[in-house]
Amino acid sequence: MDIICTVMTGMKQENPGGTVYDAIRRNIKKYRKERGMTSAQLAEQVGLSHDFIRQIESEKARYNFSVETFCKIGAALGVSLDLLIQESPEKE
């Protein structure tokens, strides 16, 4: 429950990587690329627009998304939500 609350409020984590949203953004892009998916393919699988997925992945747009969207993306990528939240040492 704490993770969901942190995701929903965008509170800062205790790391230089920024908010939990920033870690999720990087991880969505990382796992999408690892699976050889385009952002358009991911968008189709989760029922969102291609532009919306691009905004989610963008460090500049900094668009915050719902927990429901987060869950759908995790399922489409076949990645557990805890992996999508983890801060990785390298930044993409």
Q: What is the pLDDT of residues 24-57, one digit of tens each?
A: 999 999 999 999 999 999 999 999 999 999 999 9
Q: Rounded to a whole number, what is the largest CA-CA distance in the chain?
A: 34
Q: If you search the block for the tokens 């050889």, which residue do you land on? A: 36
User: E strand or H helix at 65, and its extent?
Assistant: none
Sign of the Cα pseudo-torsion (78, 59, 11, 48, in order): negative
Amino acid 18: pLDDT? 77
What pLDDT, in 10s, does the model give residues 60-71?
876 778 999 999
Amino acid 21: pLDDT? 87
Which pTM value belongs to this model? 0.75
| Predicted confidence (pLDDT) at residue 2 exceeds the cutoff of 70 | no
- The DSSP 8-state label assigned to residue 13 in this structure reads P
Q: Is residue 49 left, alpha or beta, with left meaning phi > 0 and alpha meaning psi from -120 to 50?
A: beta
